[in-house]
Amino acid sequence: MNPLILDGAAVRRLLTLDALLPAIEAALIELSAGRATQPLRTVMELPSPGSLLFVKPALIGQALATKLITQVPDNAARGLPTMIATIVLMDPHSGAPLAVMDATWLTELRTAAVSAVATRALRDRTPKTVAILGAGRLARSHALALRAVVPVSQIRVWSRNPENAGRCAADIGGIASASAEAAVRDADIVVTVTNASTPVLMGRWLKPGALVHAVGAPRPTWRELDDEAMRNCVIADRREAAETESGDVILSGARVHCEIGEVLAGQVRLAEGTTVIFKALGQAVEDAVAARLVYQAAAPG
């Protein structure tokens, strides 16, 4: 059979946040329950400094997929996304390819959807001040997804490049902050989506009871958060991934309290007012269910 070929515009048109949020929640519960097949990702270094290729297969329900994703920090200067991704979706029974799709927007939206699902599970619905460290595409998708699950009173954006912070803030209806500390102080929700390899978020800045979505630093030697931040309650999207792939966890010696799927399933409850670090490495099951949604929308029946 000839697989569907779906470009970025088609994926953006076909994948909606409303459909994605429940699919992501269900996938995270299945992953923590051991009802999905997902080996640890393969990571290969590329020639450009800080550049990586990730290979991420997964099987969950009727979704069998492999994602190839590159992270190239220098792409920002080229006017390209720092992350570029492609997914191959296959029939889990025959192995035949069903679709090959650009997964750049899919990755941006599903990453933010994971943070949104965790926010909905871990925080109430009172208005929240959000700080975003980083001003790329993930900052923009997080603004969209977080606003879908909690009332957001203000979004502050910080980047090492003030011009980028200003543009991002204008795009998402936020304000640019002069420093990371100024953005984070008194924020209810903090999102770190940087290319940093050394900490940009200090624990002493965090408001008691804050929720931190630690999304960047996907390598064992990279960090976005300092040791003080990591001494708070750490929740992972997958324990094994956090303990083997996350520099924030490994280098701080932090203990992973639980997986977010356990919280979503009602198996783990946290005391009110707990400061939480949610370390998300981006799991392949998330990509697989998102790709399945795109395929179903493109080829109903």
Query: Residue 301: pLDDT above 70?
Result: no
Q: How far apart are CA 268 and CA 94, in angstroms?
A: 38
User: Do the domain assignments include residue 165?
Assistant: yes
Looking at the structure, do residues 168 and 22 belong to the same domain, yes or no? no
Looking at the structure, do residues 144 and 267 belong to the same domain, yes or no? yes
> Reduced to 3 states, what is the DSSP secondary structure of residue 72?
coil
Q: How far apart are CA 294 and CA 12, in angstroms?
A: 9
Residue pointed to by tokens 């409850």: 269
Looking at the structure, do residues 279 and 138 belong to the same domain, yes or no? yes
Percentage of the residues of the chain whose pLDDT score is greater than 90: 89
Looking at the structure, do residues 153 and 71 belong to the same domain, yes or no? no
Query: Residue 218: pLDDT above 90?
Result: no
Per-residue confidence (pLDDT) for residue 2, from 0 to 100: 87
Looking at the structure, do residues 76 and 186 belong to the same domain, yes or no? no
User: Do the domain assignments include residue 101?
Assistant: yes
User: Do the domain assignments include residue 113?
Assistant: no
User: Do the domain assignments include residue 114?
Assistant: no
Query: Residue 212: pLDDT above 80?
Result: yes
Looking at the structure, do residues 177 and 238 belong to the same domain, yes or no? yes
Looking at the structure, do residues 294 and 250 belong to the same domain, yes or no? no
Backbone angles phi, psi at 50, to 5 degrees: 75, 10
Looking at the structure, do residues 140 and 255 belong to the same domain, yes or no? yes
Mean pLDDT of 146-175: 97
Looking at the structure, do residues 255 and 294 belong to the same domain, yes or no? no
Mean pLDDT of 106-131: 96
Residue 153: pLDDT band (50, 70, 90) is very high
**Average pLDDT in the chain:** 95
Residue 235 belongs to domain spanning: 124-283
> Structural domain tally of the chain?
2
Query: Residue 300: pLDDT above 80?
Result: no
Query: Residue 1: pLDDT above 80?
Result: no
Residue 200: pLDDT band (50, 70, 90) is very high
> Reduced to 3 states, what is the DSSP secondary structure of residue 43?
strand
Predicted model pTM? 0.93
What tokens appear for 27 in the block?
A: 């996938």
User: Do the domain assignments include residue 115?
Assistant: no
User: Do the domain assignments include residue 81?
Assistant: yes
Q: How far apart are CA 10 and CA 101, in angstroms?
A: 9
Listed in sequence order, the residues at least 6 apart from 47 whose beta carbon sits closer than 8 Å to its beta carbon are none
User: Do the domain assignments include residue 79?
Assistant: yes
Looking at the structure, do residues 134 and 275 belong to the same domain, yes or no? yes
Looking at the structure, do residues 42 and 137 belong to the same domain, yes or no? no
Query: Residue 257: pLDDT above 90?
Result: yes
User: Do the domain assignments include residue 228?
Assistant: yes
Looking at the structure, do residues 66 and 134 belong to the same domain, yes or no? no
> Reduced to 3 states, what is the DSSP secondary structure of residue 198?
coil
| Nearest CA-CA partner of 236 in 228, 295, 250, 35 | 250
What tokens appear for 29 in the block?
A: 């519960």
CATH code assigned at 215: 3.40.50.720
Q: What is the pLDDT of residues 31-84, one digit of tens each?
A: 999 999 999 889 899 998 889 999 999 999 999 999 998 989 888 888 888 878
Query: Residue 267: pLDDT above 70?
Result: yes
